Every structure is written in C-alpha cells, then in structure tokens.
Structure 1
Amino acid sequence: MVAFSNIKKLKPIFWSRLNQDLIFKVSRCLKCDSTYAETVEVAYSTYESTDVDTSKQPPLVILHGLLGSKNNWNSMSKAIHKTTGRKIISIDARNHGDSRHSPQHSYIHMAHDVMKLLRKLEISKVSVLGHSMGGRTAMVLSLLCSDLVSSLIVVDISPVKTSPQIFSMMNLFDAMAAVSIRSDIAMSKARKLADDQLRSITPDVNLRNFLITNLIQTNAGTYTWRVNIPALKSNFQSNISNFPVSLKGLQKDDLPEIKEYFPLADLVFIEGAGHWVHSQKPEKFLETVCKFLEDK
C-alpha cells in the first residue's frame, strides 16, 4: 500500500505491486470545475451514533469498486466510525447497487453524482475513501472540487497505469450477461446455478461469490443482475479502464517525477493482500486508514 499526503503540486500518482495494496492520500487539488455532467440519484447508507459528536470532523465518504456496492463496505464502515467517531457515508455508484441506471458511466459523471448528493445533504467538506473504480472517482472528485475534499484515500488504483488483468472484465461482463436462471426457484438455488455457469470463466470462487452478490430477484419473480451490465460493458474501454486524460496535471510521463510532485509522500505497504485489501487484511487496513484520518 502506498500513501501520499500533504501534496503541494498537481499530478497525484501512485502504483501497485504484485500481492500488495496501495492507499493514496491527497490533501488538496483543484477548484470546483463547472463542466456539466448529467447526474443520477445515488443510494447511500450512513453510519453514525447518537452519543458521538460527528460534527467536529468531516464525514468520510466511501466509494466502492467495479461490480461492488456499498454493502461490501458495511462492516468496515461500522469499524471506521467506531474507531474514529466520524460519520460514514457509503455510496452506491450509478449502475450499481440501489442507485439509478444510466447509459453514461464515466469518472466525471460519477464524481458529479457524489457532488449532487453532498449538496443535497448540505455537506461542504468531506474526506473520501475510494477502492478501485471508486478510487478513480475519488481522485476526479478531488481534482474537480478541491474545496469539498479535505483528504483522500485511494485503494489499489492509479491515475496513470492500469493493470493488464482489468481487461479480463470484458469476459466477465459477457459471462454474467449469459447467465440464465428460471424464475420458479429459491434464491439459494439460483445462486448455485449462477456459480455453476460462471465457473467456466473463472476458477476463483471468491470472485464468483463477489459477482453473485449482484444477483437479485425482481417483483415478477425473475432473476437478473443488479448492476447495469450493458452500460458497464459499453463504457469500459473508453471510460472505466483508463483515468480521464483531459484532467489537467495528470500525464502518463509523470511517474519518474513522483518524488518531485510528492516530496512529503508517506509509503505504507500492507503485505499479503490482493485487490480487496479491506476484506483480506481488515485489521491492518482499518488501523492504517484510521491513523491517517486521526492525523488529518
């Protein structure tokens, strides 16, 4: 895990190493951008206690990864709130979880969705934690609206490089779209059938279980995916797999200059964790995140 903080210049960059995870922290960025992006209503959950004064520190907004949901962060959200006393707002991205579907799916759009929600909640300052796709959304949010984001934690994603493994997602989208389950069966059996059909595309049972968290039964009794597979697939190559190159200060040749742009960088590695560091090494992840939040 790699963490940056107290940044004095633009070009936030970090990279991932095999079997290690990264957290990237930013304390400032750009002024609010006026670029228009069509927004959608996003679902969210809050974690707060009546006996804890959460007004002293900015709330922590948590943004999940591709094909995930706010539910993936339920336990961690509770733990971070209990440890830090901060109010936690965990958000479902568009085309995920309980949020609205849209044919548009880019980091600019998702960042504006978050802005809209925070304006609705009358929140003017937040810390943001983003994992994977949510990490890039968090970076874009901080670049577009620096006055809104007081500190930033990005988990296992980079604005300048993309893991080659991410392009296997296209095969997963196709496999999920091809899953066929009849309507007259219980959810437990439906999940088993979905697992059987996805096994041909990935032998990783943990990944299959993660994908199957998106399986839902409609009011009509039919089974479908909660995530908007067509929109995610059509936007993947152009809008999801790469960070927006149009954002000022983010160039692919910046990596050799990382020390110039991050002279006060903090480097923290969580050993033995894969992409889902928050579930694979929850205690260490919680400790690291809470220490950063307490320092900020």
Structure 2
Amino acid sequence: MTNMLFNLILTKNISKICTSTLWRLYPLITRSATTTSNAETVDLAYSSYEYTDNTSAMPPLVILHGLLGSKNNWNSMSKAIHKKTGRKVISIDARNHGDSKHSPQHTYPHMAHDVMKLLKKLEISKVSVMGHSMGGRTAMVLSLLCSDLVSSLIVVDISPVKTSPQIFSMINLFDAMVAVSIRSGIAMSKARKLADDQLKAIIPDVNLRNFLITNLVQTNNGSYTWRVNIPSLKDNFQQNIATFPASLKGLQYAGPTLFIGGSLSDYIGKNDLPEIQEYFPLADLTFIEGAGHWVHSQKPEKFLEIVCKFLSEK
C-alpha cells in the first residue's frame, strides 16, 4: 500500500489528489519514501514575517532559496514583500542547507515533500510559492505534485526546460570549499579572510566568494566547517539538481505563474516560454534588465516591484 502511494505521488496521477487527501495520506507517504529510497522527509528551518494580529486573508508567500544559499539571503526581501503586500512571508532553509537537517538524498521531489511536511505542521493549506534557481525548481515540482496547495507561483531565473552550461561549474565550487582549511580557535572575521584567500585562486568573483563564505560556521569546540552538506550536494548534483525531473513531464500546474529572468543570465531564455507553458499553461515570462542569475540581489527594487504587482493581482 505504502509503495503504491509513494509511486502515485511521483507519477502523473498526483494531479488527481487534492490537498486535503494528501494531508491524510502524508504519514503513509513519508514511511513509503523511507522504504523506497532509504530517505525520509526532513524538518526544515524557517523564518516567518507577519503581523502580530495575523489578520491577512491572503495566502502566505513561501520563499525557497537557491543552491548553497539559505533563508538568511532573503531576509531583507522577505521583510520588504511582507511590508508592501501585508502577506505573511515564510522563508525556508532547504534540506542540506542553513539550519535544516542533512540527508544523503537531495532530489526535487524530496525537497517538495519537505515543504509539504512543514506546511502541514504549520496548518497552512494554501500558499503562494516563490523560488530562486534550485528553489525555483523545488517550487515548480511542489506546484506540479500538489497543485491544490499552490495559489500562485513565482520562479526566479531557472527553467524546467533548459539548463545553463554555467551550472556544471558548481562541481568546482564544491571542491574548492572542501579544500579550505582553517585552524580552530581564531575569530570569525579572521576565518572568513582565510577562507576568502584560499577560494580566490579558483573563484575570482568576489561576490560569489562572499556568498559561499556565508556558509562558514564555527562549532562548539572552536573548529570551522561548512553548514551546507557538501558531500550530499556533490553526489546528487549531476543527476538530481542540475536537471529538472523528467518523470514529471506531462503534469501541469494551471494556476497563475510568473517566471522572472535576468537579462544577463542564460539560465532561462526568451524563447523558452512555449515549452514552459507545457508545464505551466498560464505562465508569463519577464526579464529584468541589467540583472544576472541573482536577480533579486542585483536589482532588488525592480524585483520587488514586479513580485508585489503579481501578488497583488493574483
């Protein structure tokens, strides 16, 4: 029975399961995921931005960060969206990232199930979802697997139909981070400087180095480590992160959908929309001039304007 349920969730029949039914089946699905793939859903860390009286009738906005990022990267934007729209905003750390649990398994269906588990725990039955890069694909998978849960979808600089050649250079970043060696007991500021010096030879982009170094943490015994689960991310990267799940082809999410790309990025192209609409028939595609892959941090004011306009209309 449990194997049948998990297979149902990962196949095209998921579109026939409503949210309320999914919640009732959730314990069986989770146990099935364990026996089928030797991995369970994990508990996700999150930050919530909301008014104390929590009077908004609009669905909360869930934000999903990209690879090697965390909910902290979205702190300022989460606050700005909440202030401008009045919506509750929930920014989540993906498995193997930030303060969330680690797992040897890192696939988009597993990450989507993690989000489902969190929303069930929070007793939230309807959300808008926005994801960047890896988080954008998680958001897409969530909307395809459980369309009744998602009131609207925003995908930031990633596509279900193409992959930027640049994405495969991520393997070099994993290796560079693993090679960093910092002695115990020194101040965090000095540790960050040492990490930057060691990464510089392989990663010339100072902004990218600074982004990676946000993952450097000091343990209770004074040693330094990365809070992201680099071995798991590297093991899963080629097959489960760099590409969109082929098994979901044929599924559709027919709710309001907006894809936002950076004009300087090649993660999503202007000619991708027809293929995107095979998954998301109501999808619109817009580009922010002068922005690369990190659209939300490179052009925050324009990004905020576009996102809040979409949320106010949808």
**Partner in structure 2 of residue 30 of structure 1:** 15
Equivalent AA in structure 2 for residue 211 of structure 1: L
The alpha carbon displacement at 1:263 in A equals: 6.8
- Give the number of equivalent residue pairs: 265
Kindly report which structure 2 residues correspond to 1:35-46, keeping only aligned pairs within 5 A, or say none.
36-37=32-33, 38-46=40-48
Higher helix share: 2
**Partner in structure 1 of residue 291 of structure 2:** 273
CA contact (8 A) 2:97 2:229 kept: yes
Q: Distance in 2 between matches of 1:239 and 1:68?
A: 17
Provide, for residues 98-145 of structure 1, a one-character-per-residue CA deviation record: whole Å limited to 9, x for no partner: 000000001011000000000000000000000000000000000100
Q: Distance in 1 between matches of 2:106 and 2:276?
A: 33
Kindly report which structure 2 residues correspond to 1:16-165, keeping only aligned pairs within 5 A, or say none.
30-32=15-17, 36-37=32-33, 38-50=40-52, 53-54=55-56, 56-165=57-166
Counterparts in 2 of 1:236 and 1:79: CA distance versus 1, 3 Å: same
The share of aligned pairs that are identical, in percent, is 81
CA contact (8 A) 1:160 1:250 kept: no
Counterparts in 2 of 1:175 and 1:258: CA distance versus 1, 3 Å: closer
Counterparts in 2 of 1:181 and 1:80: CA distance versus 1, 3 Å: same
Equivalent AA in structure 1 for residue 89 of structure 2: I
Q: Distance in 2 between matches of 1:231 and 1:260?
A: 32
Q: Secondary structure at the match of 2:52?
A: coil
Calculate the TM-score normalised by the size of structure 1.
0.85
**Partner in structure 2 of residue 22 of structure 1:** none
Q: Secondary structure at the match of 2:181?
A: coil
| Higher RCO by CA contacts (8 Å cutoff, separation 6 or greater) | 1
Counterparts in 2 of 1:198 and 1:294: CA distance versus 1, 3 Å: same
Q: Distance in 1 between matches of 2:103 and 2:188?
A: 27
Equivalent AA in structure 2 for residue 295 of structure 1: E
CA contact (8 A) 2:273 2:284 kept: no
Counterparts in 2 of 1:263 and 1:103: CA distance versus 1, 3 Å: closer
What RMSD, in angstroms, separates the aligned Cα atoms of the two structures?
2.1
Calculate the TM-score normalised by the size of structure 2.
0.80
Asked if 1:210 corresponds to 2:195, the answer is no
What runs of 5+ residues in structure 1 fail to find an aligned partner?
1-28
What runs of 5+ residues in structure 2 fail to find an aligned partner?
1-13, 34-39, 253-270
